[in-house]
Structure 1
Amino acid sequence: MQRTISTGKKFRIKTVSLMVAFALSGWSQAQDAGGEALLSPVRVSERVMGENTEGTGSYTTGKTKTATPLSLSPRDTPQSVSVVTQQRIEDQGLLNITDVINNVTGVSVNQYETHRAQFHARGFDINALMVDGVPTTWDQQWSSGEILTGLAIYDRVEVVRGSTGLTTGVGDPSAAVNLVRKRANSKVLTGTVQLGFGSWSEQRVLVDVATPVNEAKTLRARVVGEYVERDSWVDNLENKNQTLFATFEADLTPDTLLSGGFSRQENNPRGSMWGGLPVWYSDGSKANWDRSKTTAAEWTRWNSVYENYFATLEHRFANDWKVKASYSHGDRTADSYLLYLYGTPDRTTGLGLFAWPGSYKTRTQQDDFGLQANGPFSLFGRTHELAVGYTYAKQKFASDSRAASTFGTVGDFNAWNGTSYPEPSWGGLTYYSQGETKQEAVYAAARLNLADPLKVIVGARLTKYEKSGDDASSNPYRLKIEDQLTPYAGVIYDLNENFSVYASYTDIFQPQQRRDISGKYLDPILGKSTEGGVKGEFFGGRLNASLAVFQIKQENLAQSTGQIIAGTTPPETAYRATQGATSEGFELELAGELTPGWNLSAGYTQFTATDTNGADVNSIYPRELFKLFTTYRLPGALNALTVGGGANWQGTTYTYVGSEKFEQKAYALVNLMARYEISKQLSAQVNVNNLFDKTYYGMFDAYNQYTYGAPRSASVSLKYKF
């Protein structure tokens, strides 16, 4: 297959395909001078890969079900799938979901404030995080700590790029990010204690204990607690994060499992920025601030709490059919006291900025119920698989505000250190906005085994969707969609024992809460997502490879106009609906174990994203991404030592601030790690991020502002296993 895509540079997928095929061939057939294989597939393939990644030491997983309701291997999933396993989380010292997104093939983060950011893939926003397959959506304007979601309670993070309408219903064609919880499945007492210390006075404690509760071991429990405290490279900024997680599993019968639990994640930062640094001086020249510069006052804070309750009942019948009922309740609150600075300062005097104090209290409550049945069935002499289900989700959002007693000018911003602007007196809470979203759906998906090498996945989701609300400016909105059908189709053909080709298609339907310059809400996004490629599986699934070509077409995609809607406080950016927004490109990924003790995750993405007129859309999102991380455990007498490292590279991004182009040149961040096993129970690990101290920043379309990314940092941790 040969296809040329213009992205400012021309490339040929045929060339890249040959390179990947050659590399995989070299790994799987490497020989020494005597002609004997250097790799030993027998040793690796003896370890069977399942869904959970704890204890596997792997950079991949055997099964995922984020793309469809069916439990499929990455090779049998007709979409691009990446999995950040427990081993990789530990190796890279990843602490929150933002860390994960920054290290996954094809996805990236636009960090436009200290506590708000936008995740994106293939040129479009990711507006939902899934927890055990349940989508939890949020409005970026009212972020409440979602990007700070800690990883202590999760076994892995699955990322499926492309539209996932079959599992999420309403959703973006960018990607689905699914955080999968740890389980209480251990029948022996086991656990870990970790202590960590790092740059900016970082301190971390993690305790994770799992144990059977009764003698028969039919009741099992697990408790996880984490505390993280650290300052920042940003002046006056400090963060305190606490996590508590308790879960259980009970074998009611040999075929019936009841599980449930509770989690609480609390973030208590001080010195939080609201907005970013000014791009320009008043004379039109570009500003160049220190990376430690802040627009926040020392009293600003953005506290948030997320509590989640969940329960699942599963029963497996003698014919291998399984029925599962699940319920979860999420309650997320945030209480913020912030300071927004705007304007353009004078280069010499620093005068020209104005202050807007703002305080908001928000709450989002979400209830989800699901019922699913899945299992095998026979037809025309072959065994196939079917999954059918029903889901109901209701989300309620409310925000109140407090009026500040004083506003005013900032004074000399060149000398601003956040201590000269006192906290105003705040009034009582008053109504600001509220909204409610309901989604109800039935779905079905079948994996048809048409021939030994040919599998077809077909499915559909029928969704009822309703969203309504208003705000203090009397801007009510109501959107009701009856029986929105989302079809899904995928085909996988096995070329041989190791390689398959695949293709998939699904529709896109995404209501949006962006407004135009008149204050009117934009129509829902509609579109189509198609993908095709080659997948490889080696060593019993411990190494997975993929090459994907994709195309996404959308109508009514919101794009910033750079203008402010009249009468909105704080200022709200106006958007326009673009027609014919198209993203197309390709992705390469290799993840897993190359040889025993050598793990690798590597991926490259390149795409274009344009509207009908050929103009770039979402140009602040990088069109080229390369992510690499690898670890190697030394052999022989040095096998107590594991060393690793990698690099994250992204291409040029830009936006327009007024009529001027504001550009971030391509850059790479290099990371290193080393771990030494002092004993079977005790190990020590060192991580260094941004080794060469690269200066880079995030930007956003509105408000003429930007932020800096993290400079070089280091951490050391001790881990004790029992």
Structure 2
Amino acid sequence: MTQPLTARRTALSVAIALSLASMPGFAQESTDGSDGEVSSPTTLEAIEVTADGERRSTENSDSYTTEVMRTATPLSMSIRETPQSVSVVSRQQIEDRNLEDVTDVVKTVTGLHSRQYDTSRARFNARGFEIGNLMVDGVPTSWRPGWSAGETQRSMVMYDHVEVVRGATGLTTGFGNPAAAINLVRKHADSRELTGDISVSGGRWSTYSTTADVTTPLNSSGSVRGRIVANYKQADSYQDLLEDEQSVFYGVVDADLTDATTLSLGVSYQDNDPSGSTWGGLPPWYTDGSRTDWDRDKTTAADWTYWASEDTGYFATLNHRFANGWSVEARYDRSETDGDMKLLYLSGQPDRVTGLGMGRSTSYYLTERVQDTITLSTSGPFQLAGREHELAFGYIHSDMDFESIGHASTNTPPGNFNTWDGSYPEPVWGATSIADARDTTEDSFYAVTRLSLADNLTAVLGGRLASYEIDGQTWQGPFGYEHNDVFTPYGGLILDLNEEVSAYASYTDIFNPQDSFDIDGEALDPISGQTYEMGLKGEFYEGRLNASLALFRIEQDNVATQAGTQPDGNGGTVAYYRGQEGVESDGYEIDVAGQVAPGWEVSAGLSVFSARDQDGDEANTEFPRRSLKLFTRYQFQNTLRPLTIGGGVTWFSEGYKEVSNPVSSEDERLEQGAYSLVSLMARYQFTPELSAQVNVDNLLDEKYYSQVGFYNQYSYGEPRNVTATLKYSF
């Protein structure tokens, strides 16, 4: 992938956009006078879709669903029109359930699972595969999971809602695993009047938080509007030593340059400043081979450890809408993530009586990730064979630089782990070296069309053509490779059975580069993942309730497997690899979200799947194969209207990892049995402006593992927690 090729592709995209602009009728500006003003009724119709058809808001809708989403394809389609399994976590759900960060959101979504590696790092999984990136307003932001710098702790105060598409999502995300796409959709300044809210909350373990969210016009007509969101949080923890301090700022300016042209400029910033951070989990065995049973507040951290991070984002979007329904958009996104980590890793087995015997490793890492993305796109309707269809296509250039620098250190024995209080001395940090560095560049073209084949039959067809180049270095030395013109197809059919129910079938694809080389030193082709899916979707009560049933199968190909070793030219050996079939996953999901009666919202999902490797053995067994997630909320009517109550339950089947007892060498399982978590909420609206809300999580104080098997250790989930929030709106 060379610079001339990139330049030619950029020129081609611009030429296409200019050619479209010169078509008859294209240059006419819209005269509908739409101003995108937010209304405030409490039915689904309040969900805002501005005139450009791009921005969609769930604020003030009082709904658990949405009318349109654009995460599965670049086309704006309803959940029923999308031929994949999709879910949305609306702004109302986020507030009702007190979902503070993206990890909280993942825990609520059908078929998604979260596994807490340590206090500042989580892993997301769907259908047996790891989710390797997050999208923000449709732009993928990749990170190195082992070098997490706060990506899974992103605060939800900045976002209107979250869209999730399960399965392979290569059309919109580029590369990754056939797991799911998580798209965080930002808030915008859509009100032409001064509006906002201020809230304060307090919870268990001395947790305090305050948030301000204000939107105001910046000129007399309201054509230029600004919005600022700020949050500060300070908290202790159920884990010994752990404390956290978090600051969030988000600002956006939305301007109507003309009736048909909008400009958005924004910046976001989040600072995570914890202390007493852990690295890994707790030891499962004593030196006699018997199992441990630690208290939930047990920690492996020292009083000097921390896992700090800063995340800064910038974006600029220019959109123009033509009179014939077409629009063109140019956008620039920049994401900067820095990590600062002083860590202590304890491993091994302590003596049951003396607590001695644990090993230790200390590390000091500085990480930096910078990603720049430029997107040019256009979409709109067209006529063919007497029917109206839709088309969207565009060009994306992305460059991501990542670097991790490690410091050498000296260590002393950790002493008695039974009485561990974190007073382990901080080591003397020595010389630095590059632990991991890479520059990833991708250029992609995509095109997708929605074809109206008949009054009740629609086809969605598309593809993405990508070229990418990776240059990097690890402690083993430099490496690099490139792949050109990798094609990712997308196809789906939707058959309307009646006015409310549709049947669909789809094939989606995705690829993932891999840092593995064959016997000739050539990089293996990317791992490919294909999702085959079919199901039923229903849209009831004029779109206020969505329901779906999906059957799926996922196949992974060309996964690197070590095929042998050969001399490396320096007196040692190096492994070489070959590609073979990977994990296969199949199962079904049921998802329901929306209003079932006035004031009564529900979000429910059942997921069942099986995942096996190339040998037919169960794969990724740490994640439960079955899960049920249910939450419902009811706002009383008439005289009790100020009162809203809600509650839910999340049930997981067992998860485990097959391991060898390090003392007896016998096969054992690290296992978390099936368990349930119950939550409650209540809110009272004292006046139209003032409300109070209480949330209770893990009501029954279930003792469970948040992860089992990560480096043959385990970690505990959070005990019962109570949070009270007072909110004033204006």
SS in 1 for 2:418: helix
Equivalent residue number for residue 456 of structure 2: 453
Aligned match for 1:721, one of 715, 724, 729: 729
Closer, same or farther: CA 399–146 of 1 in aligned 2, 3 Å: same
Equivalent residue number for residue 278 of structure 2: 273
Percent identity between the two aligned chains: 50
Assess if the C-alpha contact under 8 Å between 2:672 and 2:708 holds in 1. no
Amino acid corresponding to residue 664 of structure 1 in structure 2: Q
Equivalent residue number for residue 399 of structure 2: 394
* 1:115-514 alignment runs, 5 A limit: 115-404=120-409, 406-419=410-423, 421-427=424-430, 429-474=432-477, 476-513=478-515
Equivalent residue number for residue 705 of structure 1: 713
RMSD: 2.2
Equivalent residue number for residue 30 of structure 1: none
- 1:514 CA displacement: 7.7
Cα distance between partner residues in 2 of 1:445 and 1:521:
30
Cα distance between partner residues in 1 of 2:251 and 2:47:
28
* 1:666-681 alignment runs, 5 A limit: 666-681=674-689
Equivalent residue number for residue 662 of structure 1: 670
Amino acid corresponding to residue 323 of structure 1 in structure 2: V
Closer, same or farther: CA 192–631 of 1 in aligned 2, 3 Å: same
Cα distance between partner residues in 1 of 2:333 and 2:45:
37
Equivalent residue number for residue 567 of structure 2: none
- Once the two structures are superposed, residues 89-143 of structure 1 have per-residue CA deviations (whole angstroms, 9 ceiling, x without a partner) of 0000010000000111110101121111110000100000000001011111111
- 1:578 CA displacement: 6.4
Assess if the C-alpha contact under 8 Å between 2:671 and 2:708 holds in 1. no
Equivalent residue number for residue 28 of structure 1: none
In the TM superposition, structure 1's runs of 4+ consecutive aligned residues that sit over 6 Å from their partners are: 519-522, 574-578
Assess if the C-alpha contact under 8 Å between 2:239 and 2:299 holds in 1. yes
Structure 2 gaps of 5+ residues are 1-40, 50-55, 563-575, 661-666
Amino acid corresponding to residue 348 of structure 2 in structure 1: G
- TM-score calculated relative to the size of structure 2: 0.88
Cα distance between partner residues in 2 of 1:682 and 1:43:
17
Closer, same or farther: CA 606–459 of 1 in aligned 2, 3 Å: same
SS in 2 for 1:166: helix
Amino acid corresponding to residue 588 of structure 2 in structure 1: F
Q: Is 1:70 aligned to 2:75, yes or no?
A: yes
Deviates more, 1:606-615 or 1:178-187: 606-615
- 1:267 CA displacement: 0.2
SS in 1 for 2:95: helix
SS in 2 for 1:447: strand
Equivalent residue number for residue 534 of structure 2: 532
- 1:515 CA displacement: 9.9
SS in 2 for 1:541: coil
Assess if the C-alpha contact under 8 Å between 1:234 and 1:293 holds in 2. yes
Cα distance between partner residues in 2 of 1:618 and 1:330:
31
Assess if the C-alpha contact under 8 Å between 1:163 and 1:506 holds in 2. yes
Equivalent residue number for residue 584 of structure 1: 586
Deviates more, 1:695-704 or 1:99-108: 695-704
- 1:279 CA displacement: 1.4
Cα distance between partner residues in 1 of 2:578 and 2:620:
13
SS in 1 for 2:542: helix
Assess if the C-alpha contact under 8 Å between 1:44 and 1:539 holds in 2. no
Structure 1 gaps of 5+ residues are 1-41, 561-573
SS in 1 for 2:172: helix
Amino acid corresponding to residue 688 of structure 1 in structure 2: V
Cα distance between partner residues in 1 of 2:431 and 2:226:
43
Assess if the C-alpha contact under 8 Å between 2:696 and 2:720 holds in 1. yes
Amino acid corresponding to residue 380 of structure 2 in structure 1: G
- 1:715 CA displacement: 0.4
- 1:480 CA displacement: 1.0
- Once the two structures are superposed, residues 479-500 of structure 1 have per-residue CA deviations (whole angstroms, 9 ceiling, x without a partner) of 3111001110011010001100
Cα distance between partner residues in 2 of 1:523 and 1:351:
48
* 1:509-658 alignment runs, 5 A limit: 509-513=511-515, 524-557=526-559, 579-658=581-660
Equivalent residue number for residue 7 of structure 1: none
- Once the two structures are superposed, residues 444-465 of structure 1 have per-residue CA deviations (whole angstroms, 9 ceiling, x without a partner) of 0000011111110000110001
Deviates more, 1:344-353 or 1:584-593: 344-353
Amino acid corresponding to residue 461 of structure 2 in structure 1: V
Amino acid corresponding to residue 92 of structure 2 in structure 1: Q
Assess if the C-alpha contact under 8 Å between 1:293 and 1:417 holds in 2. no
Cα distance between partner residues in 2 of 1:627 and 1:298:
37
- 1:47 CA displacement: 5.2
Cα distance between partner residues in 2 of 1:578 and 1:145:
34
Cα distance between partner residues in 1 of 2:694 and 2:561:
42
SS in 2 for 1:465: strand
Aligned match for 1:100, one of 99, 105, 108: 105
Cα distance between partner residues in 2 of 1:435 and 1:213:
42
Closer, same or farther: CA 481–379 of 1 in aligned 2, 3 Å: same
Cα distance between partner residues in 1 of 2:45 and 2:557:
49
- 1:356 CA displacement: 1.2
Amino acid corresponding to residue 143 of structure 1 in structure 2: S
- 1:524 CA displacement: 2.9
- Once the two structures are superposed, residues 650-669 of structure 1 have per-residue CA deviations (whole angstroms, 9 ceiling, x without a partner) of 11111022232111101010
- Once the two structures are superposed, residues 271-326 of structure 1 have per-residue CA deviations (whole angstroms, 9 ceiling, x without a partner) of 00011101111211111111100001011011100001100000001111000000
Cα distance between partner residues in 1 of 2:405 and 2:140:
25
Closer, same or farther: CA 44–228 of 1 in aligned 2, 3 Å: closer
Assess if the C-alpha contact under 8 Å between 1:112 and 1:700 holds in 2. no
Cα distance between partner residues in 2 of 1:114 and 1:506:
35
- 1:48 CA displacement: 6.2
Cα distance between partner residues in 2 of 1:575 and 1:713:
48
Assess if the C-alpha contact under 8 Å between 2:550 and 2:589 holds in 1. yes
- 1:346 CA displacement: 1.4
- 1:614 CA displacement: 1.8
Assess if the C-alpha contact under 8 Å between 1:559 and 1:618 holds in 2. no
Cα distance between partner residues in 2 of 1:247 and 1:135:
20
- 1:636 CA displacement: 2.1
Cα distance between partner residues in 1 of 2:458 and 2:447:
17
- Once the two structures are superposed, residues 621-644 of structure 1 have per-residue CA deviations (whole angstroms, 9 ceiling, x without a partner) of 111011111100112211110000
Cα distance between partner residues in 1 of 2:659 and 2:281:
13
Assess if the C-alpha contact under 8 Å between 2:332 and 2:374 holds in 1. yes
Cα distance between partner residues in 1 of 2:397 and 2:484:
14
- 1:557 CA displacement: 4.4
Amino acid corresponding to residue 457 of structure 2 in structure 1: L
Amino acid corresponding to residue 454 of structure 1 in structure 2: L
Cα distance between partner residues in 2 of 1:578 and 1:97:
34
- Once the two structures are superposed, residues 647-694 of structure 1 have per-residue CA deviations (whole angstroms, 9 ceiling, x without a partner) of 111111110222321111010100000000010000000000000000
SS in 2 for 1:545: strand
Closer, same or farther: CA 122–289 of 1 in aligned 2, 3 Å: same
Assess if the C-alpha contact under 8 Å between 2:327 and 2:378 holds in 1. yes
Deviates more, 1:127-136 or 1:611-620: 611-620
- 1:513 CA displacement: 4.7
Assess if the C-alpha contact under 8 Å between 1:492 and 1:502 holds in 2. yes
Cα distance between partner residues in 2 of 1:334 and 1:176:
24
Assess if the C-alpha contact under 8 Å between 2:118 and 2:715 holds in 1. yes
